[in-house]
Amino acid sequence: MKKLSLFIMAIAIAISANAQSYNVGTSNTRTDYFGNRNTTHRNQYGQTTGTSVSSTDYFGVTTTTHRDNNGHTIGTSTSSTDCFGNTITTHRDSYGNTAGTAISTTDNFGNTNTLYSNSFGQSIGSSYTTTDYFGNTTSVHRNQYGYTQGISTSSVDCFGNRTTQQRSDDADISIWTW
């Protein structure tokens, strides 16, 4: 039994060592003097695929406008925090129709669990984010079946600009799906 366990563990290590991870895009976020966040999204070739501009109002509601690489608005996201500290984000398409929601909860250790739903309320995936001592984050993205689709790692430079690197086992995954 012990030999079988070691054999299975060796196979698992060999498989994971041979698994490829593809760069599927990056996002660079800059915060201006007024606290607005401007994010540029790029694909694995460094080409700009879109932008997101976020602003937060007096009541703590954050509105993000997403645009494609031609500057056309492709959707908006509105985030607010409820009395329990959960963040609820509603995504809408360019016509204002609800495209999906995300509900984020943070545990006592500062880790964030986000559940994603489509416009019908069906689960379409989740993300689990951990933050280290330096403010760098690692997010593991899973589909509705619990399979890992990608990993995002994010770091902040001395100017407060955040760079996020998205990686996936599938080279065709788009960062827009996360």
pLDDT at 137 over 80: yes
pLDDT at 164 over 90: yes
Is the pTM higher than 0.85? The answer reads no
Residue 98 belongs to a domain? yes
**pLDDT (mean) for 75-85:** 94
Residue 16 belongs to a domain? no
Closest to 87 in 3D by CA, of 62, 100, 104, 110 = 104
Domain span at residue 87 reads: 26-177
Q: What is the pLDDT of residues 25-57, one digit of tens each?
A: 999 999 998 889 999 999 989 999 999 999 999
Burial (0-12, 13-18, 19+ Cβ within 10 Å), 28: middle
The span from the CA of 123 to the CA of 72, in Å, is: 28
pLDDT for res 73: 95
**Which segment of 26-30, 90-94, 162-166, 168-172 scores lowest on mean pLDDT?**
168-172
Contact 66, 77 (CB under 8 A): yes
What total of structural domains would you count in the chain?
1
Residue 107 belongs to a domain? yes
3-state SS class at 107: coil
The span from the CA of 36 to the CA of 63, in Å, is: 10
Residue 114 belongs to a domain? yes
3-state SS class at 14: helix
Residue 19 belongs to a domain? no
Residue 14 belongs to a domain? no
Residue 104 belongs to a domain? yes
Residue 94 belongs to a domain? yes
pLDDT for res 177: 47
